[in-house]
Amino acid sequence: MAKQVKLFQSLLKHSARLQPNLKCKCTKNVIHSRSLHSGSIYEQKTSWSAVSTYDEAFRRSVETPNEFWGEAAENISWFKKWDRVLDDSNSPHTRWFVGGEMNTCYNCLDRHVEKGFGDMNAIIYDSPVTNTVQRITYTQLLREVAKLAGALSNLGVKKGDRVLIYMPMIPQAMATMLACARLGAVHSLVFGGFAAKELSTRINHAAPKVIVSASCGVEPNRIVDYKPILESAIAQSEHKPDKCIIYQRHGLEKAILDPQMDVNYHDVVSAAKPHDCVPVLATDPLYLLYTSGTTGTPKAIIRPNGGHAVVLYWSMFNSYGIKPGEVWFSGSDLGWVVGHSYICYAPLLHGNTTVLFEGKPVGTPDPGTYWRVIHDHGVAAMFTAPTALRAIRREDPKGAYMKKYFLGHFRELYLAGEHCDHETLEWARDTLQKPVIDHWWQTETGSAITCSNMGLGNNPYPPAGVAGKPVPGWNIKVLRQDMTECDVDELGIIVAKLPLPPCAMSGLYKNDEKFLSAYFKTFPGYYDSTDAGFIDKEGNIAVMSRVDDVINVAGHRLSSGALEEAMLEHPDLAEAAVVGVPDTLKGHVPLGLCVVKSGTKKHSTDIVKEVVQCVRDHIGPVAAFKQAVIVPRLPKTRSGKVARNTIASMASGKSFKVPASIEDPGVYPQLAAIFKQMGYVDLGEPEM
């Protein structure tokens, strides 16, 4: 530990050299965090708002974005400096750091080792499901990544090629991401909880030259064999990779490799020579990340190398108050954007130690597991989803497990991924006696859109229900459909005035039409977040819900359309609809409505069971699709569109008005009777 502290102190000096203003900002923040720990947390509210540097940073970021992000970019090592910070001549195809050449892996690893911080831990892999704790230094990680890049190169992977990663939460998954970045190859990491069909859709679309996978994942209740899922996905995909690299996990059953297609991770890495960093343009893609949209086909977000590195580095201190050398823990999964940005890239870019946690907030082995990790590894701040806190609270309402651990060094808990309910937020603040900060994100944005911006002196205790103020670079407005601005506290659509800041997606892979129509068409000149919310009188943003057909389940985004397509794989279904209904643990869970083909003889209970299995087989267990019901028909508009919002309101117990465009309003009393029978709230007859 003493060695780590010494390294941290010298890293701070090194960072202050890189970032001329950091020293004075840091000093200010140290004062803040000290005062934060003394006395009652609630006493701090006024002093925080009094010393804000946020307003100035925000103003500069929107008035002179060139200057603002140009300065931030000085903290990144460039092989060739950019010609222009911002090129917005073809908006919304905004380009940042045009002409600049860099390498994200170099910035994450090599430069820290070259500066003498190779002995510092880059990753602490903590896996309660395999009973493992492993510390990996920057030097060790660099060695592994350079050799893995060599192995990928030996298999023909070069700059611009796609590599698909389908791996559990193990250090080799992060090493593969970084090895791709090192080569200038574009990774596409797919979450382990997806079924073969979803994986095959991504393989077909990304057309990877190589796939890197592992023998298995470990869920608390079962081992997930990855190899059969991968084989089935490749069989279903028209595109076939040249090779699959398979990592055989220690102490667990080994996968059987196909000598034609598969190579062993350990063998190819051992045999390879280390590969150097390949310079890429700032505007070249670092990764593709698939996310759910309104339709069944997922969208592949393109993340550019340069802007991503600049903003993520900047955010570690300015948004999260984290100083280089500190330990940071993001309790998410590498398969989601939060995992990409805040398990892997941001902490490494910034010279921090990142905790890679393979487990669940509860049951591995108990609801104290997050607090143990914070205690054992000296975590300064953490990021997780409200669902995780709800799960912990359910099992440990009085915080008895939390009290078993010393958390004096722990400063803040950040939440995102879904709307955080007041009760959970207040419970966490009271129990932890630390700031618990909700902030708003999307896969598209790559980093937070709103936050308490701890490094800039924002109030760490905004009222429950809001997700902080816009992060510099995000010029947020709340609009009515006619594009006029909403009043304070008035619900509307949250949009961001263009240009978007440098970390935002640069496009949708192989789907520019969708890029333009999904995000920029409804409100010209703005990015449409498809989230509804409002701005309060302090300028905080509250994010309430999606306005499209995306359901947020435990912080995971699921498309109603994709779930319906999976339901319709059942031969006896004529029609299907999926809506999100409130769930005390996961925020929302999907509910499926099935219309059975006439003449079907099968018993309805069997059909429901099979439909549930169908969704699990096609989308995967992550959909948490466990409830379905047979209905005689669906409410539809005259143009044939299923009125999902009215079904969702009805099943959630919210009152609603039947839209005039509904073809047959008589369907609602039928649905009401069915929902009542299922135990959903009885609303009586809806308003016609």
H or E stretch covering 233? helix 226-236
Under DSSP, the state recorded for 580 is E
Binding span for ligand COA by CB under 6 A among 331-339, 446-454, 469-477, 647-655: 331-339
Measured from the CB atom, the residue of 103 and 545 that comes closer to ligand AMP is: 545
The interface with ligand COA within residues 537-576 (CB under 6 A) comprises 554-555
Binding span for ligand COA by CB under 6 A among 217-225, 281-289, 478-486, 544-552: 217-225
Least Å distance between CB 467 and ligand AMP?
4
Q: Does 390 bind ligand AMP (CB under 6 A)?
A: no
286, with CB counted inside 10 A (0-12, 13-18, 19+), is buried
74, with CB counted inside 10 A (0-12, 13-18, 19+), is middle
Binding ligand COA (rule: CB under 6 A), the pick from 145, 233, 391, 420 is 391
Which does residue 439 bind out of ligand COA, ligand AMP, none, counting CB within 5 to 8 angstroms by kind? ligand AMP
Q: Please, are residues 118 and 112 in contact by the beta-carbon 8 Å criterion?
A: yes
Q: Does 291 bind ligand AMP (CB under 6 A)?
A: yes
Q: Does 446 bind ligand COA (CB under 6 A)?
A: no
Q: Does 440 bind ligand AMP (CB under 6 A)?
A: yes
Which does residue 85 bind out of ligand AMP, ligand COA, none, counting CB within 5 to 8 angstroms by kind? none
* CA-CA-CA-CA dihedral for 577, 583, 589, 592, to nearest 10: -30
Least Å distance between CB 126 and ligand COA?
15
Residue 540, C-beta contacts closer than 8 angstroms, at least 6 positions apart: 450, 462, 463, 466, 467, 468, 469
Residues in the chain: 688
Best CA proximity match to 322, nearest among 345, 344, 343, 351: 351
Residue 599, C-beta contacts closer than 8 angstroms, at least 6 positions apart: none
Give the strand pairing for 210-214 and 162-166: parallel
C-alpha to C-alpha distance for 308 and 501, rounded to whole angstroms: 9
Measured from the CB atom, the residue of 333 and 438 that comes closer to ligand AMP is: 438
C-alpha to C-alpha distance for 656 and 184, rounded to whole angstroms: 51
Measured from the CB atom, the residue of 104 and 552 that comes closer to ligand AMP is: 552
Q: Which two tokens stand for residue 19?
A: 């970032």
The DSSP code sequence of 88-136 is -TTTTS-EEEET-EE-HHIIIIIHHHHTT-TTSEEEEEEETTTTEEEEE
Q: Please, are residues 138 and 118 in contact by the beta-carbon 8 Å criterion?
A: yes
Q: Please, are residues 199 and 335 in contact by the beta-carbon 8 Å criterion?
A: no
- Per-residue string for binding with ligand AMP, 311-350, x by CB under 6 A? --------------------------x-------------
Q: Does 167 bind ligand COA (CB under 6 A)?
A: no
Binding span for ligand COA by CB under 6 A among 72-80, 385-393, 484-492, 517-525: 385-393
Binding span for ligand AMP by CB under 6 A among 83-91, 147-155, 415-423, 601-609: 415-423
The interface with ligand COA within residues 584-623 (CB under 6 A) comprises 585, 621-622
Binding span for ligand COA by CB under 6 A among 70-78, 146-154, 291-299, 384-392: 384-392
C-alpha to C-alpha distance for 176 and 180, rounded to whole angstroms: 6
Which does residue 443 bind out of ligand COA, ligand AMP, none, counting CB within 5 to 8 angstroms by kind? ligand AMP
Angstrom distances, CA of residue 278 to CA of 101, 123, 340, 366:
10, 23, 21, 44
Measured from the CB atom, the residue of 227 and 546 that comes closer to ligand AMP is: 546
Amino acid at 629: V
Least Å distance between CB 188 and ligand AMP?
16
Measured from the CB atom, the residue of 100 and 446 that comes closer to ligand COA is: 446
Q: Please, are residues 174 and 334 in contact by the beta-carbon 8 Å criterion?
A: yes
Which does residue 32 bind out of ligand COA, ligand AMP, none, counting CB within 5 to 8 angstroms by kind? none
Measured from the CB atom, the residue of 417 and 492 that comes closer to ligand COA is: 417
Q: Does 552 bind ligand AMP (CB under 6 A)?
A: yes
Q: Which two tokens stand for residue 547?
A: 């306005």
Binding span for ligand COA by CB under 6 A among 153-161, 216-224, 277-285, 420-428: 216-224
Measured from the CB atom, the residue of 126 and 161 that comes closer to ligand COA is: 126
Place of tokens 């669940």: 360
Binding span for ligand AMP by CB under 6 A among 34-42, 75-83, 417-425, 560-568: 417-425
Q: Which two tokens stand for residue 286?
A: 């670092």
The interface with ligand AMP within residues 505-544 (CB under 6 A) comprises 531, 543
Measured from the CB atom, the residue of 387 and 545 that comes closer to ligand COA is: 387
The interface with ligand COA within residues 333-372 (CB under 6 A) comprises 336, 338, 360-362
Measured from the CB atom, the residue of 143 and 557 that comes closer to ligand AMP is: 557
Binding ligand COA (rule: CB under 6 A), the pick from 92, 193, 208, 468 is 193
C-alpha to C-alpha distance for 89 and 329, rounded to whole angstroms: 39
Binding span for ligand AMP by CB under 6 A among 117-125, 434-442, 593-601, 636-644: 434-442
Binding span for ligand AMP by CB under 6 A among 302-310, 433-441, 483-491, 595-603: 433-441
Q: Does 380 bind ligand AMP (CB under 6 A)?
A: no
Residue 167 φ then ψ, to 5°: -140, 155
Residue 51, C-beta contacts closer than 8 angstroms, at least 6 positions apart: 28, 32, 457
Measured from the CB atom, the residue of 26 and 170 that comes closer to ligand COA is: 170
Residue 276, C-beta contacts closer than 8 angstroms, at least 6 positions apart: 146, 182
Amino acid at 514: K
Give the strand pairing for 573-583 and 587-596: antiparallel
C-alpha to C-alpha distance for 352 and 358, rounded to whole angstroms: 19
Residue 208 φ then ψ, to 5°: -75, 145
Which does residue 419 bind out of ligand COA, ligand AMP, none, counting CB within 5 to 8 angstroms by kind? ligand AMP
CA end-to-end distance (rounded Å), the chain? 68
Contacting residues toward ligand AMP, per CB under 6 A: 291, 337, 416-419, 438-443, 467, 531, 543, 546, 552, 557
Contacting residues toward ligand COA, per CB under 6 A: 192-193, 217, 219, 224, 331-332, 336, 338, 360-362, 384-385, 387-388, 391, 417, 554-555, 585, 621-622, 624
